[in-house]
Structure 1
Amino acid sequence: MTVAATTDLEATFTDIARPPSFVDLRAFAAQAEALLRAQPGEYEGDPFLGNRAALVSSGAEGPVHFILLPAGSGAVAEMPGDEFVLVLSGALTLTAQSGDYLLGPNDAAVIPHGSDFGWTAGEDTAVIAMRYAKSEAAGRAITPISKDPAFAPSGKPAPEVLIGPAPECCNFNDYRVDEGRFVCGTWNSTPYRRTAILYGHHEIMLLGQGAVTFTDDAGRSGTFRDGDLILAEAGARCAWDSRTDVTKVFAIYRV
């Protein structure tokens, strides 16, 4: 099942021809959930892989999905790709040989390609996921995104795109494969502004602190704050404006 993304923060997710931009993923999830509930049971196999709606842009399905898990349990014999999952509402327990992983709202983890795992949801549970389809099964364990990351200094935006002083940035990668083509972790930064840059990757961002305003080439602007969930799509050109320190959980898929 597919759901198209929006060209406007208040619009419905119906414009499949829209150019890449930034997407309010909680707004996408709300409409995707309504669509899935209106057409229950129209999938094959386990709900974790089947009861999904894919975000669409430029007329094609992207790597970001909304998953609606009914209260109960299920099992996946083989995960078809590395997948970053973030719980929006409800509670999800993942059970694998490496242990049990309990995820509540705003908790995230990476389920590696080839994973054989069970899942349990105590109530209907909503999840945002991004799959790295180019991964290979390598026997990795499920990896939670740390709630207490050991930050280290990281790279800064290029000087030519900055408007004003350069920020101080720190980063911690929980999961990184294929020389960083798929990487998930936590990042923080002091305030900064930059002009629009071309995103060569899809990036999910869960803001845990601060606020940031994105503006795309069409002049569309949106400000996001603590708890908001955003996707910057590959091919988008967006400016960044943060007037406070920002911390975000991220998942990056370089295309």
Structure 2
Amino acid sequence: MQDLRKMLDMQRALDLKALAATCPLTAGDYKTARYALPVADGAVSLELVAPQGTGHVDAGNEDVFLFVLDGQFSINGTGMTEGQGSKVSAGTAFDWSATPGTRLFAMEVTEAEKGEPGVVVIDPAAVMSPSNPPPAEYLTGPKPECQSAPAWRSCKGQFYGGTWSATPYYRKKVPYVHDEFMYLLEGCVSFVNEEGEKQTFKAGDAFLICRGASCSWESLEMVKKVYVIFRPTEP
């Protein structure tokens, strides 16, 4: 088993399923059965959650993205299974239930301008439209053709998610100015960080790249992913 300290290094991609299987995380109540992941500051909360049983959560002031890494998790009677994710909007109270062995990834951002409460599901089959490719100065080789289907944008535009796809491309090492969760629906992608470490992820993998990490991107085939991003606005 990999060393947990290395797995939590913010300069590399954090393999969320591997972390959920390795970190000291005891199943229990949704609000307390948690393991905090490293963050650049207090503007976002990134946690692994091991809910089991049933419970209730009062309405809060945060937008929370929940993704099922393993097991089954239900919000107000609507179930999510492995590979599914939803955003619970600020102001939403909910009842929950979880089967034994359920593991979630949770990404939480305070919402100062509350909208309508409710749950926004990221649909992997949503119809996508053309979107901008990475900046030309970051690319080595042909410009990819990209498509996306945004699901939401909240917290003054800082917190957003949806689905995205791209034809093969290579992007130079660039520093991430955002925290990004990714779940690969199709394809395979490799990252190389400043230390020269190469990490490769394939369809079915869920991982996180934190603000401040610098890495390249290489995909040799069409890639499609679920993404959720927290990009803080500059003061």
Give TM-score, length-normalised by structure 1: 0.84
Partner of 1:83: 64
Q: SS in structure 2 opposite 1:137?
A: coil
Partner of 1:31: 22
For residue 88 of structure 1, report the CA deviation from its aligned partner.
1.3
Deviations 1:102-154 (A, max 9, x none): 10011110011121110112434111111113554323321111132110111
Write the distance in 1 (CA, Å) between the matches of 2:10 and 2:66.
25
Deviations 1:47-101 (A, max 9, x none): 222111011267989622100011x210001234111111111111100xxxx42
1:63 alignment partner, one of 37, 42, 45: 45
Q: SS in structure 2 opposite 1:50?
A: coil
Q: 1:123 to 1:11 in 2, by over 3 A?
A: closer
Partner of 1:167: 144
Partner of 1:140: 117
2:175 alignment partner, one of 198, 218, 243: 198
Write the distance in 1 (CA, Å) between the matches of 2:64 and 2:83.
16
Write the distance in 1 (CA, Å) between the matches of 2:122 and 2:212.
26
Gaps of 5+ in 1: 1-9, 42-46
Write the distance in 2 (CA, Å) between the matches of 1:57 and 1:211.
26
Write the distance in 2 (CA, Å) between the matches of 1:59 and 1:249.
24
Partner of 1:150: 127
Q: 1:57 to 1:179 in 2, by over 3 A?
A: closer
1:254 alignment partner, one of 220, 227, 231: 231
Q: SS in structure 2 opposite 1:115?
A: coil
Write the distance in 2 (CA, Å) between the matches of 1:59 and 1:203.
15
2:35 alignment partner, one of 53, 57, 60: 53
For residue 16 of structure 1, report the CA deviation from its aligned partner.
10
Q: 1:56 to 1:62 in 2, by over 3 A?
A: farther
Contact 2:10/2:210, CA 8 A, preserved across alignment: no
Write the distance in 1 (CA, Å) between the matches of 2:80 and 2:201.
23
Write the distance in 2 (CA, Å) between the matches of 1:17 and 1:172.
30
Write the distance in 2 (CA, Å) between the matches of 1:149 and 1:59.
33
Contact 1:55/1:61, CA 8 A, preserved across alignment: no
Q: 1:60 to 1:29 in 2, by over 3 A?
A: farther
Write the distance in 2 (CA, Å) between the matches of 1:223 and 1:253.
23
Partner of 1:7: none
How large is the Cα RMSD of the aligned pairs? 2.3
Q: Percent identity of the aligned residues?
A: 31
Write the distance in 2 (CA, Å) between the matches of 1:196 and 1:57.
21
The alignment status of 1:209 with 2:186, answered yes or no, reads: yes
For residue 26 of structure 1, report the CA deviation from its aligned partner.
1.2
Q: Quick one: which amino acid aligns to residue 94 of structure 1?
A: I
Contact 2:69/2:105, CA 8 A, preserved across alignment: yes
Q: 1:59 to 1:20 in 2, by over 3 A?
A: farther
Write the distance in 2 (CA, Å) between the matches of 1:28 and 1:62.
19
Q: SS in structure 2 opposite 1:69?
A: coil
1:109 alignment partner, one of 73, 83, 86: 86
Partner of 1:22: 13
Gaps of 5+ in 2: none
Contact 1:199/1:237, CA 8 A, preserved across alignment: yes
Write the distance in 2 (CA, Å) between the matches of 1:126 and 1:59.
24
Contact 1:65/1:129, CA 8 A, preserved across alignment: yes
Q: 1:135 to 1:12 in 2, by over 3 A?
A: farther
1:119 alignment partner, one of 91, 96, 106: 96
Partner of 1:92: 73
Give TM-score, length-normalised by structure 2: 0.90
For residue 180 of structure 1, report the CA deviation from its aligned partner.
3.2
Partner of 1:222: 199
Write the distance in 2 (CA, Å) between the matches of 1:220 and 1:184.
28
Q: SS in structure 2 opposite 1:247?
A: strand
